[in-house]
Structure 1
Amino acid sequence: MELNKFEDVESGCRSFFLFRNQTETVFAAFEMSLAILDKGGVIDRLLTIDAAPLPAERTTLKLFEIPEIGCADIGEVLLHDITACAPQNEAELDCFPLIDLSSKTSAPLVK
């Protein structure tokens, strides 16, 4: 999962995420909780975002709005939890250990 770009918008900051599913599995559910930290390292807010579906062996672009904060004010994005992760037609599983994180923005994306 890569935080690829930030873009200031009227309502806050738009974030562009790339999800690189290099498995042969389609993920029908993929929901995560992100903590947005300001430049001082203080948690500004928690966001729950739904990135599903994630097709097998594909890179998918997903855009999410981070309301009421400018992009330049974001110091770090923490993957707090993966609240739902389920392959298509299968039971939920713990995807946290499977995720590699990177960021091309000024704010690191960390576990």
Structure 2
Amino acid sequence: MLVVIVGTALAVWGPQAQAQERPLTVELNKFEAGEEGGCRAFFLFRNRGERTFDGFEMSLAILDARGVIDRLLTIDAAPLPAGRTTLKLFEIPEIACDSISEVLLHDMTACNAQNEGPADCFGLMELVSRTSARFVE
């Protein structure tokens, strides 16, 4: 009986605890054809935390349909206000959207909360993709 109660408690509190541990969701929401054969990527940044990020740059590796790295792309998503969802658009030049199999979060080149020093954002983020490409770290 105790096992059932503990299991139920974990099932109920688990997602809330994870949201507190990872207050920032970075979602690759949509691809659409961009200029000159490139791809436009729509990202949603859901900052459920209490800190505004005035520095937030990600280095992304774009992998083609064969799983080979096509290019590195650095995107600047700052500012990310506390308690808000922010939409950002980024151009991925010279590769068609349907040729992207995976987007790898290679590095965080800047992660600074307002009025604070650099932070380790990898532990704060959950990555999600609603596209055909995987979004992983």
- TM-score range relative to shorter protein: over 0.9
The higher-RCO structure (CA 8 Å, 6+ apart) is 1
Matched, 1:81 2:90: no
- How many residue pairs get aligned? The number is 111
Structure 2 spans left out of the alignment, 5+ residues = 1-25
Query: 1:9: Cα distance to partner?
Result: 1.7
When normalised by structure 1's length, the TM-score is 0.98
Bigger proportion of residues as strand: 1
| Structure with the greater alpha carbon radius of gyration | 2
Deviations along 1:12-53, one digit per CA (max 9) or x if unpaired, are 000000000000100000001000000111000000010000
Map of 1:60-75 to 2, 5 A cutoff? 60-75=86-101
Structure 1 spans left out of the alignment, 5+ residues = none
Map of 1:17-96 to 2, 5 A cutoff? 17-96=43-122
CA RMSD in angstroms comes to: 0.6
Question: Stretches of 4+ moved more than 6 A in 1?
Answer: none
Quick one: percent identity of the two aligned structures?
71
Q: Could you say what secondary structure the match of 2:98 adopts?
A: helix
When normalised by structure 2's length, the TM-score is 0.80
| Aligned amino acid, residue 27 of structure 1 | F
Query: 1:10: Cα distance to partner?
Result: 2.3
